[in-house]
Homo-oligomer: A and B are copies of this chain.
Amino acid sequence: MMQARSYIVRSMLGKTYDSQVCSIARALELVGERWSLLIVRDALFAGTTRYVEFQRRLRIATNILQSRLDGFVAAGIMERRTRSSAAGPEYLLTDKGRDLAPVLVALTQWGDRWAAPDGPPICYTHETCGSTAGVEITCAKCGALPDADEVIIRPGPGMPAEYLQRMAAARAAY
């Protein structure tokens, strides 16, 4: 099953960085292609579900749009559902797709801060209380960490043994 998905990913994007043992690289394999995250944005925050709506909103070349939607279905990020053949299929985000919300909100915050000369075009709001919503780097014990310099990385369970040995050898050489 993983093998099959890996094959789809490779053939879908033809990237070379999928060989890197890194969840960022793997995430970008699936959603880093041009337009991908904008399609997820419209699905998540504008409720867009149909090919023609995505096309109208994004003004994206039709072959690219179809290729992205097909790729999302293959990767389990969207489900294709056909209720009426006249209206064409709907593309609905799965849990895997909806779980991209923090990535989109983080990108929005960065763009609001560094690429929005007239101020944020849209604001995320907590529906029940009306206050501003956003993302924060947090520590499981200490809460919000405003300074990302306090965050370090360590090898996790998914780091292959041969990488760990190479890292140890590199440290020993100092």
Contacts and interface: CB of A to CB of B under 8 A. Distances in A.
Chain A binding surface, main DSSP class: mixed
A108 B76 CA distance: 18
A38 interface: yes
A127 B144 CA distance: 14
Given A142-B131, A151-B125, A151-B133, A112 B23 contact: yes
Interface string A43-66: 011000000000000111000000
Contacts of A15: 34
Copies of this chain in its oligomeric complex: 2
Which of A16, A23, A29, A112 gathers the greatest number of chain B CB atoms within 10 Å?
A23
Contacts of A128: 142, 150
Contact of A122 (B131, B132, B153): B153
Given A103-B106, A125-B152, A127-B151, 18 more contacts: A23-B107, A24-B108, A25-B111, A27-B110, A33-B34, A76-B114, A98-B148, A98-B149, A101-B137, A105-B151, A112-B158, A118-B157, A122-B155, A122-B156, A123-B153, A126-B140, A133-B140, A136-B136
